[in-house]
Amino acid sequence: MSKSVEIIRDRAGNQPIQLALILGSGLGHLAYAVEGVAIPYADLPGFPHVSVSGHNPSLHVGTLEGVRVAVLGAREHYYEKGNPAAMRVALETLKALGVSSVIATNAAGSLRADIRPGDLMLLSDHINFSGLNPLIGEPTDTRFVPMTDAHNPAMRVALQAAAKTEGVALPEGVYAWYSGPSFETPAEIRAIKILGGDAVGMSTVPEVILARFLGLKVAAISTITNMAAGLSDEKISHEHTKAMAPLGAAKLEKILRCYLRAMS
């Protein structure tokens, strides 16, 4: 048993955890809704080192809407240290603690006129625009992970049902992963549009690949913080992302709570 599994069991109890949530930029406060304990990543060997402002680098384990959950208050992005597998130990640890499904969230720029800042987008699929992969170097044939239906159809149906119950619009679209940390150029955004992207961001895709590799079901939701580069006059910045994320966060929290109630 890994040291992190032991520490989490010790502080949060032995009951299996059902679902893990990964929180994106400006969404970290959702973790405080969990009734349970918060364990700083620094106490958990192998957990990420997060250096991005606007993130809460702790694992919150406890109950939310009657479901035993683990909320990762922050993620390590590829652009921080160049490690696309930065979230691997965290996901392996949560799997060992019973987790069978993961919902990842992120902040993203929209390429679609009908999906505006403050809106949410459920990922129907993704494009790995970075060419990177967290499984490079994995020595066995288990690395050849099928990615058809990577964004779990049954979870998406359940998230759509929750959105409908809560009266929140939840359009689906394709998320393109761009490594960052610089934002995209307008020409890159035009290219992503031609390739079929609806939103662009700097995260989530490595975690979806890792989750599928580990046999975890996964779904992901973007909170749209801006129109992508060149699509509006608004200046794109990390400050702007952090300021805009809470607009979608309230809607996201409603959907997630309703989804968990239906699970419990």
Positions marked active-site? 25, 55, 77, 79-80, 107, 202-203, 226, 238
Determine the size of the site formed for ligand HPA (CB under 6 A).
14
Q: Smallest distance, Å, CB 96 to ligand HPA?
A: 31
Q: Smallest distance, Å, CB 159 to ligand HPA?
A: 21
Q: How far is CA 77 from CA 62, 148, 194, in A?
A: 25, 24, 26
Q: Smallest distance, Å, CB 137 to ligand HPA?
A: 26
Select the residue interacting with ligand HPA from 86, 170, 202, 208 (CB under 6 A): 202
Q: Residue 92 or residue 184: which is nearer to ligand HPA going by CB? A: 184
Q: Residue 42 or residue 187: which is nearer to ligand HPA going by CB? A: 187
Residue type, 158: A
Task: Give the three-class secondary structure for 63.
Answer: strand
Burial status of residue 27 (CB atoms within 10 A of its CB: 0-12, 13-18, 19 or more): buried
Task: Give the three-class secondary structure for 35.
Answer: strand
Stretch that binds ligand HPA, among 5-13, 34-42, 221-229, 249-257 (CB under 6 A): 221-229
Write out the binding residues for ligand HPA, residues 137-196 only, by CB under 6 A: 178, 183-184
Residue type, 89: V
Provide the angle, in degrees to the nearest 10, between the axes of the packed helices 238-263 and 153-166: 100
**What residues pair up with 110 in beta bridges, in sequence order?**
199, 227
Select the residue interacting with ligand HPA from 78, 112, 241, 251 (CB under 6 A): 241
- 226 makes contact with ligand HPA (CB under 6 A): yes
Q: Smallest distance, Å, CB 17 to ligand HPA?
A: 28
- 120 makes contact with ligand HPA (CB under 6 A): no
Write out the binding residues for ligand HPA, residues 49-108 only, by CB under 6 A: 107-108
Q: Residue 20 or residue 236: which is nearer to ligand HPA going by CB? A: 236
Q: Which of 156, 154, 150 is nearest to 177 (CA)?
A: 150
User: Which position has the token pair 């702790």?
Assistant: 58
Cβ atoms of 160 and 170 within 8 Å: the answer is yes
Rg, C-alpha atoms of the chain: 17
Q: Residue 10 or residue 239: which is nearer to ligand HPA going by CB? A: 239
Q: Which of 51, 97, 98 is nearest to 75 (CA)?
A: 51
Q: Smallest distance, Å, CB 163 to ligand HPA?
A: 21
Residue 235 half-sphere exposure toward CB, CA atoms < 13 A: 5
- 236 makes contact with ligand HPA (CB under 6 A): yes
Please give the residue ranges that form the binding site for ligand HPA (CB under 6 A).
Answer: 107-109, 178, 183-184, 200-202, 225-226, 228, 236, 241
